Structure 1
Amino acid sequence: MTVASTTVSCFRSRPNLSLFHSLFHCGKSSALVIFRQLLEANVNPNAFTFSLLIKACLSSSSFAYASLNLGLQARQIQTQLLKRGVNQFIHVNTSLIDLYMKLGFTSHAHHLFEEMVFRDVVSWNVLICGYSQNGYLYDALKFFVGVLRENFRPNQTTIISLLPSCGCHELILQGRSIHGFGIKAGLGLDSQLNNALISMYSKCDDLKASQLLFDEMDEKNVVSWNTMIGAYGQSGFYDKAIICFKDMLKAGFRPSSVTMMNLMSANAVPETVHCYVIKCGFTDDASVVTSLVCLYAKQGLTDMAKLLYIHYPTKDLISLTAIISSYSEKGDIESAVECFIKTMQLDIKPDAVALIGVLHGITIPSHVALGCAFHGYAVKSGLSNDCLVANGLISLYSRFDEIEAALSLFYDIRDKPLITWNSAISGCVQAGRSSDALELFSKMNMCGQKPDAITIASLLSGCCQLGYLRIGEMLHNYILRNNVKVEDFTGTALIDMYSKCGKLDYAEKLFYSIKDPCLATWNSIISGYSLYGLEHKAFSCYSKLQEQGLKPDKITFLGVLAACYHGGLVCLGLKYFTNMIEEYGLMPTLQHYACLVGLLGREGLFKEAIEFINYMEIRPDSAVWGALLSACCIQQEVKLGECLAKKLFLLNHKNGGFYVLMSNLYAIVGRWDDVARVREMMRDGGGDGCSGVSVIEVAYINDSNNNLDMKFVHSLSE
């Protein structure tokens, strides 16, 4: 028998309201159970009773897990308020509005607020704060205007409740207006208000305003420092976040758990933060330990993240998901799967994010069966209905050219958000089926879904494959009309499209119109110059990107090596290849090797090319040997070409490309019987020799009202 039930049984002989009130404070039994027992004892509750009851519901340990049940009970409380006439008390109704808002029942809270005969500024504050916390930003602002119209004087709490609603770039003007209102009302010196303003400005990407407010604060507290550290971290100024933390220590403030988590979000050195966590005694704080595990995992220190996870008693899905994603990014799919299985062994149900972490790591064709197994798990667990998982599966099947499976998944999704359309369109392009991608785009427009920058970039890539310059130009026009920023991947895709569709002058003009091109954009223009044999312009761009402080990557060097290939610059090609490895620590891929082998071969340096292949750190594939065979055609090296053809036949006998190369080599030296023999072998082997394809582009484009509606008809003839 519980303490509460024993006490209530004693009250039945002598009911006493104040003793029931003491039970609400004690918290040893459910507040609603106590309230029902109070009614059974024929004790008449008053306004104070209802205030205690609502407060007890808000502080209940099961509050976060029983919102629907509590919502029903909140409506029952409201009925009792009406029945007993207690609804006339402002503070009781305000408490009930607060309960509804915390449960997410905004319409109930609003209805109750509208029924209130008398309101005060606290009632308005609770309503504004509730709408803000539930993500109804414009409603929160609308009710702030209501406060002013009702001639109530907003206080500090009103402003602080409202500022989170303005924490996005679209509402920065409103945020500044509220800031000005706060200063005019004499609230500008309050540290709590300044902290809220610092946070608001940082979320609106106005870090200068955050810094100015912080510097002008006379009395900074731990929350102030935490807010500024978080602001730097959110804006990507990780070094400044660390400096701010050091200044905080110099000012004599002791870091809190929030300080540690803000430092971790600022991508701090995990080992250093780990030391502070131990030093400050936060090893028992589950949130801090979880953040530390995620930080180790994010920075690729996966084994350390796993060791930390095993050592501390806190076992949660967030930590395991971070470890799973980290293993997947490193290509260690076996360890990722092991961690995924661990979640089920710990009776932790994996969510969509954990499953996606594994799916992203499946990149090798031999692991396709594993992907199918996880697809089965997604169906069995019901996660396949999650948009995130469906998109991950579409990307998985597209990655391995299983486009029919990807499209089947796509069409099974009833309500397709933009991200799902983008996954399907991008998947078709990656699989070399750009015509299907363009058809999907037409259907997307028919469904009333507007494209974003990712959609446009994928379609531009498809235009490159098909040579659809006209469609690419229409997409460019759509970007300009809708003020889509021509930066990063959108600009890169446009430059790539114009280069590959024969309009290098357009690509060049577009490149120089971009104020701060990223590395991918530089790579695109370098590749464009290389494609057209303008090696000096390619080298000039390579030098300029370094001058701007950008570090070249593997794609940069692929473009530069291609420029050396087209220009026949052997010494320069070898120099760039060496720099890539020794200066930048980049391991060459088979594409880099193939490019350099082709460069050596076309200059007649076959001995050096073969020695280079023999010293390769990875096994050469058909592309490397094919590059050498192509060079044999240029130099008319029949004997070596025949040896290479045999090797290529063993590697991939269905590839018609090397049959064509050998046929061309025999034709150059006039060996027509051998030409006929090679063509006969190609027919017997089922190869098509990369059949010539004529593409007739018939495009109907309706771009009225800033929408793109395209219909494509293409004819293929062999």
Structure 2
Amino acid sequence: MFASNLSLFHSLFQNSNSALATFRQLLQANANPNAFTFSLLIKAFVHASSTAALQARQIQTQSFKRGINQFIHVNTSLIDLYMKLGFASHARHLFDDMSFKDVVSWNVLICGYSQNGFVYDAMRTFVDMLRESFRPNQTSVVSLLPSCGCFEMILQGRSVHGFGIKAGLGWDSHLNNALMSMYAKCDDLKASELVFEEMDEKNVVSWNTMIGAYGQNGFFDKAVICFKEMVKEGFQPSSVTMMNLVSANALPENVHCYVVKCGFDNDASVVTSLVCLYAKQGLTYMAKLLYKSYPTKNLIALTAIISSYSEKCDIESAVECFIQTMKLDIKPDAVALLGVLHGITCPSHFSIGCAFHGYGVKSGLSNDCLVANGLISLYSRFDEIETALSLFYDMREKPLITWNSMISGCVQAGKSSDAMELFSKMNMHGQKPDDITIASLLSGCCQLGYLRIGETLHSYILRNNMRGEDFTGTALIDMYSKCGRLDYSEKVFYSIKDPCLATWNSIISGYSLYGLEHKAFNCYSKLQDQGLKPDKITFLGVLAACTHGGLVYLGLEYFTIMTEEYGLIPSLQHYACVVALLGREGLFKEAIEFINNMEIQPDSAVWGALLSACCIQQEVKLGECLAKNMFLLNYKNGGLYVLMSNLYAIVGRWDDVARVREMMRDSGGDGCSGVSVINVTSVKDSNSILSPSDVYLNTSTWQHLCLY
């Protein structure tokens, strides 16, 4: 028997198949395997194949047949195996059938639940362990803490921490590291720092955990400082240290130098992390250069490069990298395909998106939720809502992210009524909206002028204490200002403790919309006082305020600050604002000179801004010249005809007004299509709940909205 066990022990270091073959030979030789034999056999299946589940059941049957199931350590090993294979229910049944249990058995079950994401089952098992008078040890607490590593479980995590202190467990580095990691994942960085500072003995893992905690919570500078202190204390960094630095968004050149200096430049994980860091920070050329210099190729690095190209809208290079994965016999996954789809923003690349849709169908990747959402976003981006809806309804399972993608796609395509209908169906399917859903619907309320629905959604946010204050708060400010309630916008804004840049931009745009330029300028100054750096959207709001106030020279000054002081490249919207600013003050010569000096080709918005100024200043000749050029440039939108009609009407040329309207009808529109929406509110009950007279939605939509 000893020789058989020795043979099985040797096969353990080869693979599970050879171990199982040796065990079968043992049975054929009529040898009687003992508990040690089964323990060795079970260990061989730690890194098991897809057939291991069936083989594990066969081993369990053999152990039961030979009475080995009476040994606690054999059953514990089987529970551990089932958990590693993902069969938590099998592990639980085996555990419940055990006549005798010890602390190790409980620990294995708790650890298995934690690793498989069964958070509440792990906590419930720990409580059952206490009820049955088993005394938890350090391993019990370490096994349980990963289950508490989310914001919703922070109270349970603190309770476990308190239990450990009360029980007098020895707080070694292993346990403290688990606590630090748990608090960091719960966004309680101060608690992680406190545990770290009170540690008597710190090891490399402790420092790595703290560096990773800073990186996870966005304190990148502190992560680098912590790394420097680690080196100063004489600890030798490991490959995990390097990867934590990478995740902390440290300067890639500095990390790269240190990687080479410490000899980790041949570590595949570290090199891949570096490639991802270069790609994430937009240094695509360096990422690709490093990738080519390393002999081992993998999908993770290539996917990072693909995503980097896509973010730069270099779709040709992204496609080239995607094709390279197939040339290297690396099967692209859903993330790689999604990386390409996200980069398709130009109408000329739409056919490429359709081709990748075909590849997704052929490879089966289109069944993946991520890819399906990416395709829905792609078709919504190009106003192919019917195709997007077809993909949406073909999906068997629709998680919340899919509903959000479809609702957001409808809003972006200007079909907010469809978004509201989808929202009612989402509720019928039992899906609870999150802050992304609410923000998309609020954006839809802006398009439709549905103030009452916006107020209802605001009530839902307050009642459910939804997190993401900046996200939903910004959407609320935007909705109220565009629906005619700037006073509500201000109330929401001042209720936010630390507004982010997007929130400041939203209130600035609101003030600009209402012609309150001085309040907009005041907000611009305050956001800078808070240490925030204005972006393109900030300056778009400020320029709009200058346009409404007729502040020409101040507007030109802000445009100069944007381009020269902050180095921001103006978009066509910024140029249109400046043209409108000059044109409305009658400075047409300066406006035309400004357009001629633009670094990008002017579009219909820029020329339309000048034409609108001609209406204000009654410049008929210039207006006619602009309209003719816009018509020749194929700017055949209804706005062009409306502006010219208004221009002729202002100067009393009614024959020309009739001629323009005739041209509009010939082009396919009569200028009369449109929908007016009003909120009908009784004087007696101005605070009444939503009623179907407010807006035109069907009954089911109203029912679900009124539930809030």
Confirm or deny a common fold (TM above 0.5): yes
TM-score (norm 2): 0.94
**C-alpha distance 602-78 of structure 1, shift in aligned 2 (>3 A):** same
Q: In structure 2, do the counterparts of structure 1 residues 276 and 701 end up closer, same or farther at CA, with 3 Å as the change threshold?
A: farther
* Matched residue type, 1:196: A
**How many pairs were matched up?**
689
The alpha-carbon distance between structure 1 residues 27 and 460, as it changes in their structure 2 partners (threshold 3 A), is closer
Answer yes or no: is the 8 Å Cα contact 1:101–1:131 preserved in 2.
yes
Q: How does 1:23-62 map to 2 (within 5 A)?
A: 23-24=10-11, 27=14, 30-58=18-46
* Superposition map of 1:130-145 within 5 A: 130-145=112-127
**Runs of 4+ more than 6 Å apart:** 696-699
1:237/1:257 CA distance change after superposition, 3 Å: same
Work out whether 1:710 is the aligned partner of 2:694.
Answer: no
- Quote the offset at 1:486 in angstroms: 6.6
Distance 2:516 2:581 in 1: 16
Contact 1:457 1:490 in 2 (8 A): yes
2:494 and 2:600 mapped to 1: Cα distance? 38
Native 8 Å contact 1:439 1:711 kept in 2: no
Q: Is the 8 A contact 2:306 2:321 kept in 1?
A: yes
Aligned to 2:106: 124
Q: Which moved more, 1:188-197 or 1:529-538?
A: 188-197
User: Pick from 347, 352, 355: which aligns with 1:365?
Assistant: 347
Tell me the secondary structure at the aligned position of residue 427 of structure 1.
helix
Aligned partner letter, 2:506:
S
Equivalences for residues 415-430 of structure 1 within 5 A: 415-430=397-412
CA positional deviation for 1:249 = 0.5
Letter in 2 for 1:275: C
Q: Which amino acid aligns with 1:630?
A: S
Name the counterpart of 2:685. none
Aligned partner of 1:541 in structure 2 is 523
**Aligned pair 1:327/2:309, yes or no?**
yes
Q: Does structure 1 residue 385 correspond to structure 2 residue 374?
A: no
AA aligned to 2:43 is: K
Letter in 2 for 1:142: R
Aligned to 1:312: 294
Matched, 1:552 2:534: yes
The whole-number CA distance in structure 2 between the counterparts of 1:485 and 1:103 is: 35
- 1:691: how far off? 3.7
What's the counterpart of residue 20 of structure 1? Answer: 7
Mapped to 1, the partners of 2:365 and 2:94 lie a distance apart of 38
Match of 1:20, as an amino acid? S
Corresponding residue for residue 670 of structure 1 = 652
More off after superposition, 446-455 vs 679-688: 679-688
| Structure 1 counterpart SS, 2:200 | coil
Counterpart of 1:517? 499
Alpha-carbon contact 1:298-1:326 (below 8 Å) kept: yes
For 1:145-184, list aligned pairs within 5 A: 145-184=127-166
Per-residue CA distance 1:624-678 (angstroms, 9 max, x = gap):
1111111111111111111111111112352121222122222222222222222
The match for 1:219 is 201
Q: Which amino acid counterpart does residue 215 of structure 1 have in structure 2?
A: E
Q: Which string of whole-angstrom CA distances, capped at 9 and with x for unpartnered residues, describes residues 309-336 of structure 1?
A: 1111121111111110010001111100
CA positional deviation for 1:19? 4.6
User: 1:485-532 CA deviation, whole Å, 9 max, x = no partner?
Assistant: 472221111111111111111111111111111111111111111111
Cα distance change on mapping 1:485 and 1:203 into 2, 3 Å: closer
Separation in 1 of the partners of 2:451 and 2:266? 61
Q: Deviations over 1:92-137 (max 9, x none)?
A: 1111111111111111111111121122111111111111111111
Aligned pairs for 1:590-605 within 5 A: 590-605=572-587
Amino acid at match of 2:202: K
For the pair 1:73 / 2:58, whether they are aligned, the reply is no
SS in 2 for 1:450: coil
Identity, % of aligned positions: 81
* SS in structure 2 of the partner of residue 456 of structure 1: helix
Report deviation, 1:603: 0.5
Shift of 1:697: 7.1
Aligned equivalent of 1:297:
279
Structure 1 distance, partners of 2:343, 2:12, is 52
Q: What CA distance in whole angstroms lies between the structure 1 residues aligned with 2:22 and 2:490?
A: 76
Answer yes or no: is 1:564 the counterpart of 2:552: no
Distance 1:454 1:26 in 2: 50
Structure 1 pair 486–87 and aligned structure 2 pair: CA distance change class (3 A): closer
Amino acid at match of 1:414: R
Q: Is the 8 A contact 1:657 1:689 kept in 2?
A: no
After TM superposition, the score normalised by the length of structure 1 is: 0.93
2:701 counterpart SS class: strand
| CA shift for structure 1 position 22 | 4.9
Displacement of 1:469 after TM fit? Answer: 1.1
Q: Please state how far the C-alpha of 1:277 moved relative to its aligned partner.
A: 1.6
Q: What is the rounded CA distance, in whole Å, between the counterparts of 2:174 and 2:92 in structure 1? A: 27
* Counterpart residue identity of residue 587, structure 2: L
Given that residues 429 and 458 in structure 1 are in contact (C-alpha distance below 8 angstroms), is that contact kept between their aligned partners in structure 2? yes
Residues 1:251 and 2:223 aligned together? no
Alignment partner, residue 664 of structure 2: 682
Residue 10 of structure 1 aligns with which residue? Answer: none
Corresponding position of 1:4: none
Q: Which amino acid in 2 is paired with 1:36?
A: R
State how far apart, in whole Å, the 1-side matches of 2:36 and 2:501 are.
Answer: 65
Alignment correspondent of 2:687: none
The match for 2:562 is 580
Letter in 1 for 2:131: R
Hey, what's the Cα distance between the residues in 1 that align with 2:5 and 2:121?
Answer: 40
- Measure, in 2, the Cα distance between the counterparts of 1:15 and 1:249: 49
Say if 2:12 and 2:43, in contact at 8 Å, map to a contact too. Answer: no
**1:138-537 aligned within 5 A:** 138-485=120-467, 487-537=469-519
Distance in 2 of aligned mates of 1:470 and 1:118: 63
Partner of 1:607: 589
Cα offsets for 1:602-643 (capped at 9, x unmatched) = 111111111101100001111111111111111111111111
What's the offset of the Cα at 1:577?
Answer: 0.4
Give, as a single letter, the amino acid of the residue that structure 2 aligns with 1:463.
C
Task: State the 1:686 CA deviation.
Answer: 2.3
* Counterpart Cα distance in 2 of 1:297 and 1:375: 25
CA offset at residue 189 of structure 1? 3.3
Q: What amino acid is aligned across from residue 30 of structure 1 in structure 2?
A: S
Asked if 1 retains the 8 angstrom alpha-carbon contact of 2:604 and 2:635, the reply is no
CA distance in 2, matches of 1:107, 1:35: 27
- The Cα shift of 1:555 comes to 0.8
CA–CA distance in 2 between the matches of 1:15 and 1:578? 86
The structural deviation recorded for 1:219 is 1.1
The within-5 A match list for 1:629-708 is 629-689=611-671, 691-695=673-677
**Offset at 1:257?**
0.8
Is the Cα–Cα contact under 8 Å of residues 508 and 523 in structure 2 kept in the other structure?
Answer: yes
The question of whether the paired residues in 2 share the 8 Å contact of 1:654 and 1:687 is answered with no
8 Å CA contact 2:520, 2:542 repeated in 1: yes
Give me the whole-angstrom Cα distance separating, in 2, the residues matched to 1:383 and 1:537: 51
**CA deviations over 1:68-110 (Å, ceiling 9, x no partner):** 3111111111111111111111111111111111111111111
